[in-house]
Amino acid sequence: MQHLLLLHGALGSKDQFQSLVHLLEDTFQVHTFNLHGHGGQPLPDTSFSIELFSEQIARYIQDMNIEKANVFGYSMGGYIAMYLAKQMPDTINKIVTLATKFYWDEKTATKEVGMLDGKIIQEKLPAFAAQLQQRHVPVDWLTILDKTTELLINLGKNNTLQLADYTSITTPSLVLLGDRDKMVTLEETLAVYKQLPNAQLGVLPGTPHIFEQVNLSLLAYLIKGFLK
């Protein structure tokens, strides 16, 4: 049975994948885990970065004696998967990304950081604030916001993966985007898809950025079809 790693996005945790795991576990040996500082994992001594998270995943693959892993990455998880495929191509079999924001500059980062204001979230989205608090306990969710803000600002200053970098990622990839995603543009997704030497593209109908609003049956169908 093939191994499949599920990578969550920024501010996310492995618990978001419980329903998806049930749809995939008959076909794959599914692995979920929390990135540093997420889902109750201890905060790292260093700043959040794509490199840091990729190293964590690489160690996990090695520790689990997985020869080659398939990876599904949601949002930031997809970016991490692509970076890992570039740095350690022999460890990755195939990649599926969904709602991954590939293009970063200072203007883009500033816009995204504006949505990570803890005070505003508490005032206008108290249910979401409570969800984040519960999701990451015992780590303070506001600290995760701060570290994620720093990560995005650094991406804006120096995008870890430039568009030209994708030409050297030969790992078979399925790049997915929801047609109602207001965070990730079709243009940036197409640009990366066209650079990847061995990629397919898919658009999910009626699908916004939020993972909890994704049609999981459709997503599982596409994952299975691509990884078979």
- Residue 60 belongs to domain with CATH number: 3.40.50.1820
117 assigned to some structural domain: no
69, exposed or middle or buried, with CB in 10 Å at 0-12, 13-18, 19+?
A: buried
Picking from 14, 216, 15, 4, the residue whose alpha carbon sits closest to that of residue 98 is 216
Domain that holds residue 44: 3-103+161-227
Question: Angle, to 10 degrees, between the axis of helix 50-63 and the axis of helix 76-87?
Answer: 70
pLDDT digit string, tens, across residues 116-141: 999 999 999 999 999 999 999 999 99
**33 part of a folded domain:** yes
SS3 state at 225: helix
Q: Could you tell me what percent of the chain has a pLDDT over 90?
A: 98
Integer Cα distance of 224 and 222 in angstroms: 5
User: How many whole angstroms separate alpha carbon 130 and alpha carbon 180?
Assistant: 26
Q: What pLDDT was estimated at residue 163?
A: 96
Residue 171 lies in a domain: yes
Whether residue 122 is contained in a domain is answered as no
pLDDT at residue 53, as a whole number: 97
Model confidence pLDDT, tens digit, residues 19-37: 999 999 999 999 999 999 9
What pLDDT does residue 48 have?
A: 97
Range from 14-18, 113-117, 171-175, 209-213 carrying the lowest mean pLDDT: 113-117
What is the tally of structural domains in the chain? 1
Cβ atoms within 10 Å of 84's Cβ, excluding its own: 28
Sole residue written with tokens 């790049």: 175
